[in-house]
């Protein structure tokens, strides 16, 4: 079914604002990711970029604007979020429904050729360590030599004491920021589901359930060990604020 641009704009805007509750310096992190991807793909005529756990495509759309020649694919398990993004952002981004980590998920994403960059923001922490190991291996096998995985997520430092301080820094930063939204995760979903304009969309996917949040407690060194085990040549953190890190792994 189709969603009107007006309805999509309303709910994507509210999505953007509620997501700021959960990501410190979200726009700065997006800029860092775009800088990395742009630099790595500067010599590619039409680079292929995957946004994993994209939601409606917040990062994917920014990458498409920044790199108009890129083929940007937003991959998410929720068809409702994908439809909102498709209606709002238009054809600059290709939207694909797939459950990250399930067998064949990269094939479902329609990425037969080598991938230049895979990116993700505050999504991969939902995966268990076992599933994340498989995802890292899948990506290492699909990225071209020199391609990158760029992941911005909540990742604890190796030291418990430093982890406590990182969380404290994040909380204090949030206290200094003006309120950006009335919505949190739950109220956004209850609100969008109650919107009469979107009733057909939710009716069409009334049996849909979010993939189960398995979660993991990997620290920074744990992620880096998994990435190197998966076959990435280099891996490390290039940006941090509080417990939010941008990790880069080079194939």
Average pLDDT over residues 83-94: 95
Sorted by sequence, the CB contacts under 8 Å of residue 66 that are 6+ apart come out as 34, 38
**Alpha helix stretches (DSSP H) within the chain:** 5-19, 26-40, 58-66, 79-89, 105-108, 129-142, 160-176, 185-194, 199-204, 220-230
Q: What is the mean pLDDT of the chain?
A: 91
Query: Where is pLDDT greater, at 112 or 13?
Result: 13
Query: Helix, strand or coil for residue 116?
Result: strand
Pick 137 or 180 by higher pLDDT: 137
pLDDT bucket at 171, cuts 50 / 70 / 90: confident
pLDDT of residue 199: 87
pLDDT tens, position by position, 109-137: 777 779 999 999 999 999 999 999 999 99
The structure's pTM equals 0.93
Domains of the chain, residue spans: 5-250
Neighbours of 103 (CB within 10 A): 10
* CATH class (in words) of the domain with range 5-250: alpha beta
71 backbone dihedrals φ, ψ, rounded to 5°: -100, 105
């Amino acid at each position: 079914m189709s969603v009107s641009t007006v309805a999509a704009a309303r709910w994507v805007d509210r999505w953007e604002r509620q997501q700021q509750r959960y990501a410190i310096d979200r726009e700065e992190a997006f800029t860092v990711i775009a800088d990395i991807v742009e630099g790595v793909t500067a010599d590619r005529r039409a680079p292929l970029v995957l946004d994993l756990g994209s939601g409606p495509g917040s990062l994917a759309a920014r990458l498409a604007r920044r790199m108009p020649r890129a083929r940007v694919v937003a991959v998410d398990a929720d068809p409702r979020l994908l439809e909102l993004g498709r209606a709002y952002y238009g054809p600059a981004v290709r939207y694909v429904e797939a459950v990250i980590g399930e067998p064949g998920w990269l094939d479902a994403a329609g990425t037969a050729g080598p991938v230049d960059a895979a990116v993700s923001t505050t999504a991969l922490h939902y995966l268990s360590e076992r599933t994340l190991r498989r995802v890292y291996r899948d990506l290492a096998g699909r990225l071209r030599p020199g391609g990158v995985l760029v992941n911005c997520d909540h990742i604890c430092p190796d030291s418990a004491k430093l982890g406590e301080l990182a969380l404290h820094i994040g909380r204090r930063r949030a206290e200094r920021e003006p309120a950006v939204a009335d919505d949190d995760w739950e109220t956004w979903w209850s609100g969008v589901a109650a919107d009469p304009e979107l009733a057909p969309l939710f009716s069409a996917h009334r049996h849909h359930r979010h993939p189960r949040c398995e979660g993991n407690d990997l620290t920074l060194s744990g992620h880096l060990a998994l990435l190197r085990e998966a076959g990435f040549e280099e891996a490390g953190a290039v940006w941090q604020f509080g417990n939010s890190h941008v990790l880069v792994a080079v194939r």
